[in-house]
Amino acid sequence: MQRRSFLKTGAFGATAAALATPAIAQDVRQWKMVTAWPKNLPGPGVAAQMLADRITTLSGGRIEVRLYAAGELVPGPGVFDAVSEGTAELYHAVPAYWGSKSKGILLFGSQPFGLRADEQVGWLYHGGGQELYDEMYGRFGIKPFLCGNSGPQWGGWFRDEINSAEDLKGLKFRTTGLASEMASKLGMAAQAMGGGDMFQALQTGALDAGEFIGPWTDSALGFYQVAKNYYWPGVGEPSSAEECGVNQEVFNDLPDDLQQAVSFACESLYNPVWTEYTTKHARSLRTLVDEHGVQVKKFPDEVIAAMGEAAKEVIADLREDDDELVRRITESFVTYRDSVGAYMTYADNGQMNARAGVMGY
């Protein structure tokens, strides 16, 4: 797939038919899904189409979901409002994009030094997170579901090497969500933009560095052509959840079996999406190194330590937020992270460290 083929935004425009009230003919509901992604962008664009198809299939064709890529019906950053206002029935995006609505929303997507993909969904299902997720998004007339995860994101593409925390100061850096808050506390000029815009900004020097997702998606966007230093670990986003937001009134109007179909379509895609990212990130990383000369580098310990201190400040700010709901979400997240994190020292962390010593057997 050529990079330009999916960087193009839609040429269809918002037609009168697309904006019309959803039709219910012979018990068939025609839903518009708006997304934050170019059509079929490896990773999130592919996952969005999978979700649209799965809702249609699991509903027995009683809900027909048509996907509109970013810019075809509304701009990518506008999908939350489009669903909240009823212009579209549902969207596919990430919580990290909605910090202007409430800082509390950002915790449901990713958190600096926070939850892994399995822990994130564990918090929602077993740690009280889903109830808080519903309460927050209910303010905007949206019913939210997690429907995938990219797994650990990377530290980013840097035009120049990073040898100390001082080297970060003043860098123009693309990131999103709470990672932006962390970057700002480190003295970086954090900027939010789409993947295509990030490529162009790195190319022209308008950005010094930036992170998007990981090797699979980043390869397709061509970042290796304009920045060769690829840093890990991506402590700003130890995982990044993808979400589906459904207009609350539309969801409430569904019969019980169709509500279950929508819910299960989202839930059932979480692991397939996450494991596809993991598998294709691993393959793409080898290609980046072997064929494109990418330099994979670990952030110095000093830099990681500075990021950790900045992350603590980010969470401290959330704990003192004026919004009582934001404070409750933050305490719920911290309680779950610390509990499961302590256990992982003996479980997954121990297993992964032990396995690293016998790789290649």
- State the binding site: 153, 174, 211-212, 237
Indicate left, alpha or beta for 295 from its phi (over 0: left) and psi (-120 to 50: alpha).
beta
On whether the CB atoms of residues 265 and 55 are closer than 8 A, the answer is yes
Q: Exposure of 133 by Cβ count < 10 A (0-12 exposed, 13-18 middle, 19+ buried)?
A: buried
- Detail the residues annotated as belonging to a binding site for Na(+): 212
The neighbour count for residue 4, using CB atoms within 10 Å, is 9
Distance CA 216, CA 218 (A): 6
Distance CA 60, CA 187 (A): 52
- Detail the residues annotated as belonging to a binding site for substrate: 153, 174, 211, 237
Distance CA 40, CA 43 (A): 8
The neighbour count for residue 13, using CB atoms within 10 Å, is 9
Rg (CA), the chain: 20
